[in-house]
């Protein structure tokens, strides 16, 4: 997934003060992605930069793309992060500079580790007759300093652990660990990403890890998370210090649970890069503009993305920011 903004603002992240349990509702903002897809950008935002190592969250759909291009994200670069593709409906074709060519389908994990450098594209396979509805989330995980120069990699996992809780809850562990179940996806910091299906009449409590901070993204329906009604496409930041999470829904609903140990390192996110200094970000941009370092994505019917201009103010990580 790319940030297609041609005037991206640098976003200092990490090293946030501890909060304890809270309720912060983040409605997100609409951002165009390609020719016909509009996403709701939930992280980063003015109120919250990160949730654990989760540093970027887009929610899109459900959209009828039967007569539309659907998702069309040209080849673009990444450093210092992992991308997570998660679908409730539709298909996304992933290509990258490692030579990967993979169609990701609903409830399958597409996980790309950018590490020191990678480029990739994403598109809705054409025609869309078999998958006319597109609905999902794209997320980034910031890599800690010890691993951010690791070799790039792509993983595709079709089988993920599923927990069947009482009270109408079914949880698929996308990444990390939840209640003793671990995803096969590679992680570099303690975190969790899970898809929670709440059947009509659900009234239960989900065990959590007390030293994680959490957020809940409503994918569909109108669930009630710890007493807070959550409209579709909204993010509820829950803070940390919780041992369990009350979940309730009168009708079928779906929620993504994101969490992790608070990210203590100061980082800069600009365009599609996560780094530590302005010089590092500028070097990555220059390398992409010159066509070096990131490799080539073959097979995409279109040009690669051009890098936007750097802001006139030098990119610097700030102090302890939300």
Annotated binding site for Fe cation: 76, 78, 120, 122
Distance of CA 96 to the CA centre of its chain: 18
CA 269 centroid distance within chain: 14
Neighbours of 277 (CB within 10 A): 14
Nearest alpha-carbon partner for 51 in 74, 78, 84: 84
* Chain-centroid distance, C-alpha 120: 15
Which pair of structure tokens corresponds to residue 279?
């010089």
Sign of the CA dihedral 190, 101, 269, 80? positive
Percentage helix, strand, coil, to 5, in the chain?
A: 5, 50, 45
In the annotated binding site, the residues are 76, 78, 120, 122
Q: Burial level of 317, CB count in 10 A (0-12/13-18/19+)?
A: buried
Q: Where are the beta strands (DSSP E) in 221-272?
A: 224-225, 228-229, 235-240, 244-249, 253-260, 267-270
Q: Are 191 and 141 in contact (CB under 8 A)?
A: yes
Indicate the pairing of strand 37-43 with strand 54-64: antiparallel
């Amino acid at each position: 997934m790319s940030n297609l903004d041609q005037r991206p603002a640098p976003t200092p992240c990490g090293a946030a003060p501890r909060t304890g349990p809270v309720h912060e509702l983040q409605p997100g903002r609409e951002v165009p992605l390609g020719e016909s897809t509009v996403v709701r950008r939930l992280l980063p935002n003015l109120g919250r930069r990160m949730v654990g190592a989760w540093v970027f969250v887009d929610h899109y759909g459900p959209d009828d793309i039967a007569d539309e291009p659907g998702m069309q994200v040209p080849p673009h670069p990444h450093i210092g992060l992992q991308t997570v593709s998660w679908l409730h409906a539709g298909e996304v074709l992933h290509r990258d500079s490692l030579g990967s060519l993979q169609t990701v389908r609903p409830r399958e994990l597409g996980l790309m580790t950018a590490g020191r450098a990678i480029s990739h594209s994403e598109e809705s396979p054409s025609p869309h007759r078999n998958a006319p509805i597109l609905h999902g989330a794209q997320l980034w995980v910031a890599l800690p300093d010890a691993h951010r120069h690791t070799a790039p990699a792509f993983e595709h996992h079709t089988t993920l652990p599923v927990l069947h809780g009482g009270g109408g809850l079914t949880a698929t562990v996308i990444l990390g660990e939840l209640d003793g179940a671990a995803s096969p996806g590679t992680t570099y910091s303690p975190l969790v990403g899970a898809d929670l299906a709440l059947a009509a009449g659900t009234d239960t409590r989900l065990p959590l890890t007390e030293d994680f901070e959490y957020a809940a993204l409503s994918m569909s329906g109108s669930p009630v998370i710890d007493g807070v009604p959550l409209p579709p496409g909204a993010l509820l930041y829950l803070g940390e210090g919780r041992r369990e999470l009350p979940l309730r829904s009168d009708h079928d609903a779906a929620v993504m649970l994101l969490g992790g140990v608070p990210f203590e390192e100061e980082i800069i996110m600009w365009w599609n890069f996560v780094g530590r200094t302005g010089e590092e970000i500028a070097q990555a941009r220059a390398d992409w503009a010159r066509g070096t370092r990131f490799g080539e994505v073959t097979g995409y019917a279109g040009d690669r993305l051009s890098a936007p201009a750097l802001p006139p103010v030098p990119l610097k990580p700030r102090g302890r920011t939300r």
